[in-house]
Structure 1
């Protein structure tokens, strides 16, 4: 179907076996990404963002992955590793958080980009090298022919990230997953990297998954947002809807924790009280309930429901929200 999503994830669950028991790092997750659009996945550390991206890429060794991950009509869960290797780089690619540890220190930038082209297209060395130089120029690295012969340690952090982007795009994939691609960069370089990804997406019609803890990045680049907490989806909505009128209390406190231009110079940052949940001993109800200001103010019956019964995502006001007491509903004293 022409309007079918490029990536469709249904009931995705990722479980790690540990000496202390199983850890369900992603639990019954669903999401979709369409060509030419960006899905931002946000949440605190440990919410399952990166585990989800690695599951889509088929990079979890030793973990139990169940559910469905369909890329352009093809099921990836259960696919043999040999078949996944053919798809990684060619149909889907990933930019990792730390380019210095992701790039091999003993090979030049040009060699590492050219290798992808040779593996997937069988290109000769000269043609692959020429393509690598071309890609380095496309991602904004000056003197690409010269810099293709340099090693990762000879590049700045922002330039190394550009090399990673060039490598990810070497075989013109349909899906690009960017896992915290700007975390270690200063704000100027961060803006340049985000502009680069947006430009390349527009030129190539890429579907992009942007994983970040930074809601400012999401507001800038995404059309759709998935908020994760405790390995599950808390809320999914168009970016304008989510920022203007969040429905899940966790989304609300995430937005409240952002610094504001109208805050006083000495105003403290608004932290989220409590700690993220333990995935070794998951609560039977809503994982956010112990930290939720809305549940804390609810009548005893509602509070007990939040603590004892896990909410499932339901469609409401143009979004999906997994909450017994969503915002903007007349529960226990009116909407916020």
Structure 2
């Protein structure tokens, strides 16, 4: 059952240098109990997309459609979106240390969200804070609830962020690079926790990351973004075994390999991400694309290629070179 449906989402920021088109016509869906992975390098539009879904942009022009459980959020009254945010849809931010308020205890911050959305008493809200801290694996939750963010380790702070997101039992969670600053052991623990909670509670989950290893571990569907636009969309297995866009292939080729020879250099995508103020014409990836370099086509530079179906399983790619199979 579809929980979130995003259609033709676009986000623009007006700056002194010009208009920054940070997101350009992105479409995707999230079903209950399923995980959508959004992957791409820094500046690809991943976080801007998630903030637009949550209604957290200020001073930006947001257009398109965001349907949450059938209700349109784009253009909806700010109070309507505010009541959904935290209650039915929640976000886990990338840097827990800056997302959590340094002057309030962890328990107070979780309890505040519960009181805001449920009107519960301080005692009930505090008990809920202790409960969710225990649910996410914080030891001695009754004592740790009275501590401040700086008293928690990086992994524990991220668990506290997850507890805050879960405190009001939302139906959708957006996790914006929740494991970036964590070592691999803690990262695995956090990912296992998110998957366990998703399965137990039937949550819809959006996992935003630049780490394809994370995507392989948790995602059911994958959306690859580049230059503010979606360039590939498919099931997780299809993206890893049959990538249909040169950018996706470049990301996969850049992963370290266990079978690499001694002294073999890591593969890197040449060049730099495009400027969102003055993007290149046509496909934003063509200046860095090895396929275009080997076989230049006017179609790559005339207009931005649409995201089109290239395989019967619904696999979509925004590349003029992607072979369409029947």
**How far is 1:283 from its partner?**
2.4
Quote the Cα distance in structure 2 between the aligned partners of 1:26 and 1:328.
26
Over 3 Å off, 4+ runs = none
Q: Indicate conservation of the 8 Å contact 1:178/1:210, yes or no.
A: yes
Q: Which secondary structure does the structure 2 equivalent of 1:140 belong to?
A: coil
Size of the aligned set, in residue pairs, is 323
Quote the Cα distance in structure 1 between the aligned partners of 2:69 and 2:309.
25
Q: TM-score, normalised by structure 2?
A: 0.97
**How far is 1:61 from its partner?**
0.2
Quote the Cα distance in structure 2 between the aligned partners of 1:93 and 1:278.
30
Pairing 1:232–2:229 present: yes
Q: Which secondary structure does the structure 2 equivalent of 1:6 belong to?
A: strand
Pairing 1:308–2:302 present: yes
RMSD: 1.1
Quote the Cα distance in structure 2 between the aligned partners of 1:148 and 1:327.
55
2:261 maps to which of 257, 261, 264:
264
**How far is 1:315 from its partner?**
1.0
Pairing 1:55–2:52 present: yes
- Match for residue 72 of structure 1? 69
**How far is 1:84 from its partner?**
1.2
**How far is 1:79 from its partner?**
1.4
Larger deviation, residues 315-324 vs 42-51: 315-324
**How far is 1:152 from its partner?**
0.5
- Match for residue 117 of structure 1? 114
Pairing 1:322–2:318 present: yes
Q: TM-score, normalised by structure 1?
A: 0.94
**How far is 1:328 from its partner?**
7.9
- Match for residue 22 of structure 1? 19
Quote the Cα distance in structure 2 between the aligned partners of 1:188 and 1:266.
27
Q: Which secondary structure does the structure 2 equivalent of 1:287 belong to?
A: coil
Q: Indicate conservation of the 8 Å contact 2:310/2:322, yes or no.
A: no
**How far is 1:265 from its partner?**
4.3
Q: Indicate conservation of the 8 Å contact 2:310/2:323, yes or no.
A: no
**How far is 1:243 from its partner?**
0.4
1:214 maps to which of 211, 216, 223:
211
Unmatched runs of 5 consecutive residues or more in structure 1: 330-336
Instruction: Assess, with a 3 A threshold, how the Cα gap between structure 1 residues 290 and 205 changes in structure 2: closer, same or farther.
Output: same
Q: Which secondary structure does the structure 1 equivalent of 2:13 belong to?
A: strand
Q: Which secondary structure does the structure 2 equivalent of 1:133 belong to?
A: helix
Kindly report which structure 2 residues correspond to 1:251-290, keeping only aligned pairs within 5 A, or say none: 251-290=248-287
**How far is 1:266 from its partner?**
2.7
Unmatched runs of 5 consecutive residues or more in structure 2: none
Pairing 1:131–2:125 present: no
